[in-house]
């Protein structure tokens, strides 16, 4: 009985004696080997992916000496091709389902705020990237080469057809509203030109003379390539419509949520194949290279300008913005993205890297699903920091090659056009080169020199994609910080409302039920008093 009383009073739970004195037991020290094993287990996929890139470089350099033909190179790179096909396979269901479920789960007011903050961040960072590109090009001066202009053989046929600036932006707007959703999964709208002979009657002093001129007429055509911008717009609007339905839309919302979760399970399986696929992607690309020495000798300064600019933006600017806003370590956040960034480097496609980016951001960096699956698909479509930077470098590089002195108006035009045109850049390999012609046309530079850009795009485009993907992830992290901060402020405001200061008398009007009953009581007393008053004669 006495033991029970001691137990109830807490007297039986005595601390053990340490050095003759009562105290807390010492914590057992974890061996260093166990800590290392724990870190390795937690980051095994990251280590495998980075190792895949490094091993792929060495394998590619070793296989180059075998002098494989085109067929053998294609067979050699098959495991890498398989990875790209697996990632592209789940892009459409992932983008559509994640955006529909995300738009349907977020309040319309919050949705507008999130979208507004995201677009502001994407616009600012893209403009900063464009400015870095112009500054780097003027510092390094890649176009001022000794001797004749560099010439790359066999690249003349790859120059995209130049387009009018107005038609390029009209195509962007047209792609926002696809006429066929099924076709948008593999085709996008693009303007081409045909020459039409126009006959005009010109009257002069001698009489009527029939004169004919040729007019360039824009004609719409569906080109190969996913119209992911149109799918994004449709999915967001469709999700908002489902939320508007209320209970009637719950079934479809649950369907898209389940579809989304199942797709993410597939992504987690693909992630374990990614290191092997990336290794062969990198190795096969190195084997494909022709005459690397001559290429780097003629275009080495241009490559260095782009890569250094990407490093500055990715390792300094973006982390600095994240740190200034959140006061958190940006490189810890960046470490959680290594798998997705390595995949971006290997595949050279921000769209193909999207599934792994969602997985990394949610599991490693604590971004909630409704934010990551809403913002990241939009970022993969409209946020192209790396592409904007390289396009500005390329524009100044081509101007320097042709001895064209750009004035301040032309530089500003390059900045604005690169920022705006990067929104419409396809999230596919060499997608940024296709929009470079818009910038060159805007400032009157020749588009034929794009062949030089295409010659080294296989390398520059990889660092572009890494920066694009990194910018998307930091955008998701910043939005998560804003949402958490807003929630804490609202929670604090609610607690302030209900908190009662010590010693302060409670006011009846603070409690509605008491106020109501006292009012009824007062009314009752008044009514009784009225009834008890002697009736007065109206006479």
The mean pLDDT of 466-489, rounded to a whole number, is 90
Is 489 a residue whose pLDDT tops 60?
yes
pLDDT digits (tens, 9 = 90+) for 207-232: 556 566 677 788 878 877 778 888 88
246: left (phi over 0), alpha (psi -120 to 50) or beta: left
- pLDDT, tens digit, for every residue of 44-96? 888 888 888 889 888 988 888 888 888 888 888 899 889 888 888 888 888 88
- List the alpha helices (DSSP H) in 385-426: 385-401, 408-421
Q: Is the pLDDT of residue 201 over 90?
A: no
Whether residue 2 is predicted with pLDDT greater than 80 in this model: the reply is no
- How many Å apart are CA 291 and CA 188, to the nearest integer? 35
Matching residue, tokens 């194949």? 273
pLDDT tens-digit series, residues 427-470: 455 556 667 877 887 788 877 778 778 777 778 888 999 999 99
Comparing 20 with 313, which gets the higher pLDDT?
A: 313
pLDDT in tens, 227-274: 888 888 899 899 989 988 888 888 999 999 899 889 888 888 888 898
**Residue of higher predicted confidence among 108 and 377:** 377
Task: Determine the average pLDDT of the residues in 104-122.
Answer: 82
pLDDT band at 532; cut points 50, 70, 90: very low
In the three-class reduction of DSSP (H, G, I as helix; E, B as strand; rest coil), residue 430 is classed as coil
Task: Give the model's pLDDT for residue 321.
Answer: 95
> What per-residue confidence (pLDDT) applies to 157?
45
CA atoms in the 13 A half-sphere facing the CB of 126? 31
How many CB atoms are located within 10 Å of the residue 103 CB? Answer: 26
pLDDT of residue 331: 93
What was the pLDDT predicted at 539?
33
**Most confident by average pLDDT, 106-120, 314-328, 391-405:** 314-328
Confidence bin at 507 (pLDDT 50/70/90): very low
Cα–Cα distance, 272 to 263 (Å, whole number): 15
Q: How far apart are the first and last CA of the chain?
A: 88
Pairwise CA distance, residues 458 & 290, whole Å: 12
Strand partners, 203: 208
Confidence of residue 501 (pLDDT cuts 50, 70, 90): very low
Phi-psi region of 480 (alpha: psi -120 to 50; beta: other; left: phi over 0): alpha
pLDDT of 136 above 60: yes
Burial class (CB in 10 A: 0-12, 13-18, 19+), 88: middle
**325 neighbors 478 (Cβ within 8 angstroms):** yes
Q: What is the helix (H) or strand (E) element at residue 22, kind and residue range?
A: strand 21-22
DSSP letter for each residue of 317-342:
IHHHHHHHHH-S-HHHHHHTTHHHHH
DSSP for 195-231, written as a single string: EEEEEEEEEETTEEEEEEEEEEEEEEEEEES--HHHH
| Long-range contacts (CB closer than 8 Å, 24 or more residues apart) made by 241-250 | 242/100, 242/103, 242/104, 243/103, 243/104, 243/105, 243/108, 249/104
Q: What are phi and psi of 215, to 5 degrees?
A: -120, 135
pLDDT of residue 430: 53
pLDDT tops 90 at residue 134: yes
Q: What is the pLDDT of residue 319?
A: 95
Would you state the pLDDT for residue 190?
Answer: 79
Region 179-205: mean pLDDT is 76
Q: Assign 190 to helix, strand or coil.
A: strand
pLDDT one-digit tens code per residue, 383-404:
889 889 988 999 999 888 888 8
Distances (CA, A) of 352 to 25, 128, 267, 434: 52, 25, 11, 18
- What number of CA atoms fall less than 13 Å from residue 73's CA on the CB side? 18
Q: Tell me the mean pLDDT in the region 261-288.
A: 87
pLDDT (tens digit, 9 = 90+) per residue, 327-381?
Answer: 999 999 999 898 889 888 888 888 888 888 998 999 889 898 888 888 888 888 7
Name the band, by pLDDT with cuts 50, 70 and 90, for residue 500: very low
pTM for this entry: 0.73
Q: Tokens at residue 312, please?
A: 């500055």
- How confident is the prediction for the chain on average, in pLDDT? 78
Q: With a cut of 50, say whether residue 512 has pLDDT above it.
A: no
Q: What is the pLDDT of residue 151?
A: 56
Q: For every residue of 449-478, which 3-state class applies, written as one string?
A: CHHHHHHCHHHHHHHHHHHHHHHHHHHHHH
Helix axes 44-64, 32-42, angle to 10 degrees: 70
pLDDT at 308 over 80: yes
- Of 427, 281, 387, 260, nearest to 343 (Cα)? 281
Percentage above 70 pLDDT, the chain: 76
């Amino acid at each position: 009985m006495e033991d029970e009383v001691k137990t109830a009073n807490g007297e039986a739970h005595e601390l053990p004696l340490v050095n003759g004195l009562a105290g807390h037991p010492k914590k057992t020290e974890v061996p260093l080997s166990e800590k290392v094993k724990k870190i390795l287990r937690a980051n095994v996929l990251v280590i495998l992916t980075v190792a895949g890139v490094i091993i792929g470089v060495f394998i590619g350099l070793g296989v180059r000496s075998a002098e494989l033909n085109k067929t053998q190179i294609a067979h050699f790179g098959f495991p890498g091709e398989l990875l790209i096909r697996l990632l592209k396979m789940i892009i459409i269901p992932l983008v559509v389902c994640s955006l529909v479920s995300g738009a349907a789960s977020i309040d319309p007011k919050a949705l507008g705020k999130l979208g507004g903050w995201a677009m502001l961040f994407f616009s600012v960072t893209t403009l900063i990237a464009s400015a870095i590109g112009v500054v780097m090009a003027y510092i390094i001066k890649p176009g001022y080469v000794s001797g004749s202009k560099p010439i790359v053989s066999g690249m003349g046929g790859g120059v995209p057809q130049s387009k009018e600036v107005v038609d390029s932006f009209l195509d962007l707007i047209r792609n926002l509203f696809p006429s066929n959703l099924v076709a948008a999964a593999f085709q996008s709208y693009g303007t081409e030109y045909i020459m039409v002979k126009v006959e005009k009657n010109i009257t002069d002093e001698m009489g009527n003379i029939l004169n004919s001129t040729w007019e360039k007429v824009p004609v719409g055509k569906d080109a190969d390539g996913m119209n992911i911008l149109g799918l994004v717009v449709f999915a967001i609007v469709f999700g908002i419509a489902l939320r508007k339905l209320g209970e009637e839309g719950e079934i479809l919302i649950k369907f898209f949520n389940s579809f989304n979760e199942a797709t993410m399970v597939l992504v987690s399986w693909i992630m374990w194949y990614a290191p092997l696929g990336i290794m062969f992607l990198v190795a096969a690309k190195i084997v494909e290279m022709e005459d690397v020495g001559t290429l780097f000798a003629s275009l080495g300064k241009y490559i260095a300008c782009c890569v250094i600019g990407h490093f500055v933006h990715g390792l300094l600017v973006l982390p600095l913005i994240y740190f200034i806003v959140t006061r958190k370590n940006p490189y810890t956040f960046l470490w959680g993205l290594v798998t997705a960034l390595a995949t971006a480097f290997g595949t050279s496609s921000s769209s193909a890297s999207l599934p792994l980016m969602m997985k990394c951001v949610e599991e490693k960096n604590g971004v909630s699903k409704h934010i990551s699956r809403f913002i990241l698909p939009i970022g993969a479509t409209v946020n192209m920091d790396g592409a904007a930077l390289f396009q500005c470098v390329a524009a100044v590089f081509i101007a320097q090659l042709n001895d064209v002195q750009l004035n301040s108006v032309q530089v500003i035009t390059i900045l604005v056009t690169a920022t705006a045109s990067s929104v419409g850049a396809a999230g596919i390999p060499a997608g940024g080169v296709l929009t470079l012609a818009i910038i060159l046309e805007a400032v009157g530079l020749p588009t034929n020199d794009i062949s030089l850009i295409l010659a080294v795009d296989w390398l520059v485009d990889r660092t572009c994609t890494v920066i694009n993907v990194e910018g998307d992830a930091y955008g998701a992290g910043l939005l998560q910080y804003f949402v958490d901060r807003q929630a804490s402020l609202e929670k604090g405001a609610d607690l302030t409302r209900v908190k009662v200061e010590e010693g302060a008398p409670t006011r009846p009007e603070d409690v509605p039920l008491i106020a109501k009953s006292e009012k009824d009581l007062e009314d009752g007393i008044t009514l009784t008093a009225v009834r008890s008053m002697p009736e007065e004669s109206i006479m």
